[in-house]
Amino acid sequence: MNERLQKCVEPGVSVIVGSVDADGNPSCCRAVGLQTHDDLATVTVFVPVATSKDTMADVQATRRLAVVTTHPISHCATQLKGTVERTRPAREDEEPFIAEHFGGFGGVLNAIGYPLRITRSVAQWPAYALEMRVEEIYEQSPGPKAGTRLR
């Protein structure tokens, strides 16, 4: 995976997921972690149980998912689109990863003036794990290349 794409899975990024229902109506929620073990051929994205009801229902109905990662300081943004192949409750051994990933996001926000108490108050656990086959990757950073397909 190249350096540009590596940035989208590092701790410190904001992760938002979106889906649609059978009629094309959108839903979205904040994710609390994103990981890949195969250079973004597939990803596992973690969403809090407390805030993902609509998105989970839409994923169950359509299997479609978009994942957008944004670094709050540089605004480097990437969109991954694909098909969810499996949903499951996150395992207890995945909780430290979620804490590290979302804690990194909180640290970046703290560096630009948002108190840690704000991100620490966001529901993170328990979480669902959505395992997605990545079919498309797009540049979403502001500028003339926004929307350019990266893969």
> What pLDDT sits at residue 2?
83
Tell me if 60 is assigned to some domain.
Answer: yes
What is the amino acid identity at position 43? V
pLDDT band for position 48 (50/70/90)? Answer: very high
Distances (CA, A) of 135 to 37, 55, 86, 113, 149: 16, 19, 15, 36, 11
What are the residues whose beta carbons fall under 8 Å from the beta carbon of 104, sequence distance 6 or more?
10, 11, 12, 13
**Do residues 148 and 141 touch, judged by C-beta distance below 8 A?**
no
In a domain, 55, yes or no: yes
Q: Is residue 145 part of a domain?
A: no
pLDDT at 1 over 80: no
Residue 28 pLDDT greater than 90, yes or no: yes
User: Is residue 122 in some structural domain?
Assistant: yes
Host domain of residue 105 = 3-139
Tally of structural domains, the chain: 1
Residue 144 lies in a domain: no
Would 39 be classed as within a structural domain? yes
- Tell me, yes or no, whether 58 lies in a domain: yes
Number of Cβ within 10 Å of residue 56's Cβ equals 19
What's the pLDDT at 140?
93
What is the tens place of the pLDDT at every residue in 71-126?
A: 999 899 999 999 999 999 999 999 999 999 999 999 999 999 999 999 889 999 99
Residue 72: is the preceding peptide bond cis (ω within 30°)? no
Q: What is the CATH number of the domain that holds 17?
A: 2.30.110.10
Q: What whole-number distance in Å separates Cα of residue 60 and Cα of residue 39?
A: 25
Q: Quick check: is 151 in a domain?
A: no
